[in-house]
Amino acid sequence: MACTHPSFSREFGGKNNEVLEFIGDSVLQLLVTELLVLHFPNDSEGKLSQMRHKLVNNPVLAECSRALRLGMFLRLGRGEERNGGREREKILANLFEACLGAVYTQHGLFLAREVVVAHFVPRFRTVQSKKPKQILHEWSQKQYRRVPEYLEIARSGPPHNLWFTVAVLVNEEEVGRGEGKNFKKATQNAAKEAVLVLNILS
């Protein structure tokens, strides 16, 4: 039933996925909120709301459906099928919510949380309210009571078009490198790599 679009039930009868979609939407909002609070405990309610809005929307949910290839199981009415409904963003977004609702109703919150963790936690880096340099700075201060060091490793190109390579060190150990058209940009890219290498989410 989770894969039965209302257009199918209108043409052929039976139940559709609207109720499961409603349940899945509520479960998704709850679990994403829970995970954001867990990963970003020092952020304000306003920042958390902004991040949740960037995560729980039709484009992202449609991507999740495509990653799971849920569209191939979707049952559509003939008209919706002809009109390309299988690739429509809103239909795919609703499909993901309906499938999450089915997971919750059949297997409970624990398994539903596993689904949300798998598909949304990796996206947290794209909606962080802090910049990588700030995240790395705060983490280094907390762990070692020292700020990161950025060292220029190389500089190439003509004077009017220089290209910089920078290494970032935490506690005298290199944790990332970055390149850019100026020193500042290279340090930003080095910090991005360091945040990924160290798996720092906040």
Which residues does the annotation mark as catalytic? Answer: 25, 97
Give the span between the Cα atoms of 123 and 51, in whole angstroms.
10
User: In whole angstroms, how far apart are CA 185 and each of 133, 145, 149, 177?
Assistant: 11, 25, 15, 11
Among residues 96, 91, 113, 94, the alpha carbon closest in space to that of 104 is found at 113
- DSSP H helices, the chain, are 6-12, 18-39, 45-55, 58-68, 78-82, 89-107, 109-120, 132-144, 183-198
